[in-house]
Chain A
Amino acid sequence: MKDVREDLKAYIDGELPEARAQEVEAAIASDPALQQEVHFMRMLGFEIKRAASEAPVQGAAATIAKLRKPRASFGFMAKFPVLPALATVILVAGISAVIFPVFAQSKVAASDSVAMSTARKGGAMESENGLKGTGEATFGSGASSTSEPQASAGGGMSKSQAAPNQDWYEQGTDTSADQARSRSGFEGEADLKDKSDFYRTRDVDGAGGLTLKTKDNRVIDKKESTITPTQAHRVYKQPQLIRNADLSVKVESVHKAQSSISDLAKKLNGFVANTALNIQEDRTPEATMTFRVPVENFDAALIEIRNMGEVLAENSKSDDVTADVADKESRIVTYADMEKNLIAELAKTKDANLRFQIRNRLAEVRANLKSIKAQYAALRDVADFSTINLTFVGRPQGEDARQSQGWSDDTWTNATNSSRGIGRFFGAIGMYLLAYAPFWMPVVIVGWIVARKRRA
Chain B
Amino acid sequence: MDERAQRAARGDREAMAQIAVDHYPAVYRFCVRRLGPDLAADAAQETFLTAQKAIKRFDGTSALSTWLFGIALNTCRNLARKRRTEMSYEHAWDVAANEPGESTLVDRQALRGALKKLSPVHLEVVILHEVEGLTYEEAATVIGVPVGTVKSRLHHAFLDLRRYLGVEAMA
Chain A residues near B (Cβ < 8 Å) = 6-10, 13, 15, 40-41, 43-55, 57-60, 62-64, 66-70, 455
Contacts of A49 in B (CB 8 A): 130-131
In contact, A53 and B33 (Cβ under 8 angstroms): yes
A52 to B89, CA, bound (A): 10
Q: Quick check: is B59 within 8 A (CB to CB) of the other chain?
A: no
B151 CB-CB contact with A under 8 Å: yes
From residue B131, how far is it (CB to closest CB) to chain A in Å?
4
* Interface residue? B61 (CB, 8 A): no
Tell me the B residues contacting A by CB distance below 8 Å.
Answer: 13-14, 16-17, 20-21, 24-25, 28-29, 32-33, 37, 40-42, 44-46, 48-49, 52, 91-95, 104-106, 108, 111-112, 115, 126-127, 129-131, 135-136, 151, 154-155, 158, 161-162, 165, 170
Give the top 6 A-B pairs by smallest Cβ distance, nearest first: A59-B41, A52-B131, A63-B45, A48-B130, A53-B94, A60-B24
Chain A positions within 8 Å of B48 at CB level:
63, 67
Set of chain A residues within 8 Å of B136, measured between Cβ atoms: 10, 13, 15
- Nearest Cβ distance between residue B119 and chain A, in whole angstroms? 16
Q: Which residue of A lies closest to B126 (CB)?
A: A48
15 inter-chain pairs at a CB distance below 8 angstroms, sorted by A residue, are A9-B158, A10-B136, A13-B154, A44-B165, A50-B108, A52-B127, A52-B130, A53-B92, A53-B95, A59-B40, A59-B42, A60-B21, A60-B24, A63-B41, A68-B13
- Do A62 and B28 touch across chains, with their CB atoms under 8 A apart? no
**Other-chain contact of A51, B28, B93, B151 (Cβ < 8 Å):** B93
Is A68's CB under 8 angstroms from B151's CB?
Answer: no
A321 to chain B, nearest CB (A): 74
A295–B28 Cα gap in the complex (Å)? 82
B29 touches A55 (CB 8 A): yes
B147 (CB) vs chain A CBs: closest residue: A15
> In angstroms, how far is the closest chain B Cβ from the Cβ of A18?
16
Asked whether A51 and B94 contact (CB < 8 A) given A10-B155, A44-B161, the answer is yes
**Contact flag A58-B28 (CB < 8 Å), given A44-B106, A64-B21, A67-B17:** yes
Q: Is the CB of B17 within 8 A of A68?
A: yes
Chain B residues closer than 8 Å to A47, beta-carbon distance: 104-106, 108, 111
Selected from B37, B91, B151, the residue in CB contact (under 8 A) with A10 is: B151
Please state if A45 and B130 are interface contacts (CB–CB under 8 Å).
yes
Given contacts A44-B106, A55-B32, contact A60 B25 (CB under 8 A): yes
Known: A44-B162, A48-B131, A66-B45. 15 other contacts (CB 8 A): A9-B158, A13-B136, A46-B105, A47-B108, A51-B108, A52-B33, A54-B94, A57-B25, A57-B29, A58-B37, A60-B25, A63-B44, A64-B21, A67-B17, A455-B46
Q: How far is the CA of A45 from the CA of B46 in the complex (A)?
A: 31
B83 to chain A, nearest CB (A): 13
Output the least CB separation between B94 and chain A (Å).
5
- Most chain A CB within 10 A, of B42, B95, B131, B135, is at B131
Name the distance in Å between A167's Cβ and chain B's nearest Cβ. 91
Assess whether A64 is in contact with B94, with CB atoms less than 8 Å apart. no
Question: Which residues on the B side are within 8 Å of A51 (C-beta)?
Answer: 93-94, 108, 111-112, 115
The answer to whether B29 touches A54, judged by C-beta atoms less than 8 angstroms apart, is yes
Report which of B20, B112, B170 forms a contact with A64, defined as CB distance below 8 A. B20
- Which residue of B is nearest A14, CB measured? B135
Q: Are the CB atoms of A55 and B155 closer together than 8 Å?
A: no
Q: Quick one: which of A43, A64, A67 contacts B105, CB cutoff 8 A?
A: A43
**Known pairs A9-B154, A55-B40, A66-B45; A60 contacts B28 (CB<8 A):** yes
Return B5 CB to nearest CB of chain A, in Å: 13
CB neighbours (8 Å) of A48 from chain B are 111, 115, 126, 130-131
Q: How many angstroms between the C-alpha atoms of A49 and B115 in the bound complex?
A: 12
Alpha-carbon gap, A185 to B110, bound state (A): 120
B162 to chain A, nearest CB (A): 7
Contacts of B14 in A (CB 8 A): 68
* Known A-B contacts A47-B106, A48-B131; A53 and B158 likewise in contact (beta carbons under 8 Å): no
CA distance A68 to B8 in the complex (A): 11
How distant is A75 from chain B, measured CB to nearest CB, in Å?
11
Q: Which residue of A lies closest to B155 (CB)?
A: A9
In whole Å, how far is B105's beta carbon from the nearest beta carbon of chain A?
Answer: 5
Contacts of A58 in B (CB 8 A): 28, 37, 40-41
Expressed in whole angstroms, the minimum distance between the Cβ of B166 and any Cβ of chain A is 12
Cβ B93 vs Cβ A53 within 8 A: yes
Please indicate which of the listed interface residues B94, B127, B165 has the most CB atoms of chain A within 10 Å of its own CB: B94
Determine whether the beta carbon of B161 is less than 8 Å from that of A67. Answer: no
In the bound complex, how far is the Cα of B94 from the Cα of A51, in angstroms? 6
A258 CB to nearest B CB, Å: 65
Distance, CA A47 to CA B111, complexed state (A): 8
Contact A15 B151 (CB under 8 A): yes
Q: Which residues of B contact A54 (CB under 8 A)?
A: 29, 94
Q: What's the least CB distance linking B59 to chain A, in Å?
A: 21
Q: Which residues of A contact B91 (CB under 8 A)?
A: 53, 55
Query: Which chain A residues border B29 with CB–CB below 8 Å?
Result: 53-55, 57
The docked-state distance in angstroms from the alpha carbon of A57 to that of B48 is: 15
Please give, as numbers and ranges, the residues of chain A lying within 8 Å of B49 by CB-CB distance: 63, 66-67
Q: What are the residues of chain A within 8 A of B158 when measuring CB–CB?
A: 9, 41, 44
Taking the closest CB of chain A, its distance from the CB of B171, in whole angstroms, is 9
Q: Are the CB atoms of A60 and B33 closer together than 8 Å?
A: no
Contacts of A70 in B (CB 8 A): 13
Give complex CA distance A57, B105 in Å. Answer: 28
Enumerate chain B residues within 8 angstroms of A44, measured Cβ to Cβ: 106, 158, 161-162, 165
Name which residue of chain B comes closest to A8, CB basis: B155
CB <8 Å contact, A67 and B94: no
A57 touching B24 in the complex, CB below 8 Å, given contacts A48-B126, A67-B49: yes
